[in-house]
Amino acid sequence: MTEILTPELDERFRAAAAAAGLLDVAYDVFDDTAMGPLLVGVTDRGVCRISFDPEPERELELLARAYGARVLRSSRPIDRVHRELDEYLVGKRRAFDLDLDLRGQPEFYLRVLGELARVDYGETTTYGELAARAGNPKAARAVGTVMNRNPIPIVLPCHRVVGANGSLTGYGGGLHRKELLLRLEGAIL
């Protein structure tokens, strides 16, 4: 059956497309992480998306709308993110060394996410504290919205933001994942 497109040829095209710089977003899905399947997207500027959505079709539409229609699964551009996530999820990495692409985020979101990025491994903060650090102490609720829409969870550690009374409150990827990440980091027992 020589008419069948082999996986090798398929992968060769995907690698060539990325190497030629023709992709708006390269993405891949990591199937068996401790967090369940993860979809990771990168542009030429850096990581633009991490999603817990196991059904990527909707995610691809969103990526296409935000960054351009040339969205293609291609593993090579994701290699480094993959490695760092793997290391983090087995407890061998405490900080990520990755460029991020936050293009299109409103200014307030950028400020909040910038402050969020400074919350260290194994520590937690509250929505109100984060709001204050972003220059608007009354904006705890708005900060909650920013966390909920965090385009790059795990790397931008919104799991480290909890309620004023210490409750986990909520997580875009589901509370069980937030708990898992905080446990991994030793922030909760």
Partner 1 sequence: MVVAVPPFETFYESHKAEVFRFLTGKIGHDRAEDAFQETFLRALRAYPKLEHGEHLRAWVLTIANRIVIDGARRQRPHGELPELASEDGRPAFEDLAPLTDDLPPKERAAVVLRYGYDLGYDEIGAALGSTESAARQAASAGVRRIRREKQ
List the catalytic residue out of 134, 158, 180, 182.
158
Q: Is 158 a known active-site residue?
A: yes
CB 83 to partner 1: min, Å = 23
CB nearer to partner 1: pick between 50 and 63: 63
- Alpha-carbon torsion 70, 8, 46, 20, what sign? negative
CB nearer to partner 1: pick between 22 and 164: 22
Q: Which of 29, 60, 98, 132 binds partner 1 (CB under 8 A)?
A: 60
- How far is it, in rounded angstroms, from Cα 85 to Cα 17? 24
Order of strands, edge to edge, in the sheet holding 36-42? 47-51, 36-42, 25-33, 71-73
Cβ contact 115:56 at 8 Å: no
CB 172 to partner 1: min, Å = 22
Tell whether residue 154 is a contact of partner 1 (CB under 8 A): no
With vertex at residue 110, the alpha carbon angle to CA 52 and CA 60, rounded to the nearest 5 degrees, is 35
Q: Which of 33, 34, 36, 72 binds partner 1 (CB under 8 A)?
A: 72
Tell whether residue 13 is a contact of partner 1 (CB under 8 A): yes
Q: Which residues contact 128 (CB under 8 A, 6 or more apart)?
A: 137, 140, 143, 164
Neighbours of 18 (CB within 10 A): 20
Q: How many residues at the interface with partner 1, by CB under 8 A?
A: 25
Closest CA to 71 of 79, 62, 80: 62
Tell whether residue 188 is a contact of partner 1 (CB under 8 A): no
Active site residues: 158
Residues in touch with partner 1 (CB under 8 A): 2-5, 9-10, 12-13, 16-17, 20, 22-23, 27, 57, 60-61, 63-64, 68-73
